[in-house]
Structure 1
């Protein structure tokens, strides 16, 4: 990828990001720089929210882009938007980091407001997903879930909370939390399949 232009709207940005990820899959280091430039602020915000400390979030972010370099060939634009795919890698990497340090003293995650200090004028991954036609269907299906299940799914998949953290917050067994989320996801899948 030689010249990088500043896309004017979200569709152009999404196309540029898809193209850049395809370039990364071909081993193009310049394409990785484009992906990084377009997404690092957002992905850092995800890492910071889950890790709870800046230095660890920076380390996790580096690991995220290594994974992007290694896995770019697996990205399928027909299955997920590029930012959703990248945000999932960031979330999973940060959760893996939290699990790896679970035996050591780790500060609790920063409050959600701390992520607001990270400069990023792009909408959040969940907002972008909800903005698409499929996102509208997902939003409607999410509204069909009871409030507790909706909160659990949002906390787990958009805020980066682990099932164990959610079970602790709700003061219920881990297995119960997993069941709530699993049943909610099955209802979502059924609702989305009926569209």
Structure 2
């Protein structure tokens, strides 16, 4: 992927990055926001961020897709928080009866070799750590919500996820 060229201001490189990644990133964002228009706005924000911050990409820390997916996830969560109570259109009872037929972000990524490697490495983690990472990075759940679900302090959850990510990085050979 041509993030270095994007950092040098090459518009065609940004177009290439967009063409290669927009469907995956849109899937991640849509899974978090559940609103197509909001997801489209956030996707645009993601690529503006990529244009402005491509020079900060460090291939030693993450693959290009992982870096982009992290930006997309964070922007979507920021938008979700900004929307706040306005998102409460349906009641919780309605939510239980609505089936989401669309594959989740992790399922969409499984077609890639990177996703298969990630799945294999996730299986090496204990169930709690794996579930927390999947919820936070693929389900769009905030660390605070993951900590509440698990009944642990936020700092403990952040540490659990961080240690799990370090093990994943080692497993993936990054």
* Larger RCO (CA under 8 A, 6+ residues apart): 2
1:139 match: 120
Native 8 Å contact 2:109 2:115 kept in 1 = no
Q: Deviations over 1:12-58 (max 9, x none)?
A: xxxxxx22x22211111222112111211111111101112111111
- Compute the displacement of 1:123 (Å): 5.6
CA RMSD of aligned residues (A): 3.6
Structure-2 change in CA distance of 1:112 and 1:84 (3 Å):
farther
Native 8 Å contact 1:83 1:125 kept in 2 = no
- TM-score by length of structure 1 reads 0.67
Q: In the aligned structure 2, how far is the partner of 1:41 from the partner of 1:130?
A: 15
3-state SS of paired residue (1:100): helix
The partner residue of 2:77 within 88, 91, 95 is 95
Between 104-113 and 26-35, report the one with greater CA deviation.
Answer: 104-113
The partner residue of 1:48 within 18, 30, 33 is 30
| Alignment of 1:148 onto 2:128 | yes
The partner residue of 1:161 within 125, 141, 163 is 141
Structure-2 change in CA distance of 1:76 and 1:185 (3 Å):
closer
1:65 match: 47
Between 72-81 and 37-46, report the one with greater CA deviation.
Answer: 72-81
Q: What does residue range 28-39 of structure 1 map to in structure 2 within 5 Å?
A: 28-39=10-21
How many residues align? The count is 166
- TM-score by length of structure 2 reads 0.74
Native 8 Å contact 1:46 1:115 kept in 2 = no
Larger radius of gyration: 1
Gaps of 5+ in 2: none
Gaps of 5+ in 1: 1-17
| Alignment of 1:129 onto 2:114 | yes
Between 105-114 and 176-185, report the one with greater CA deviation.
Answer: 105-114
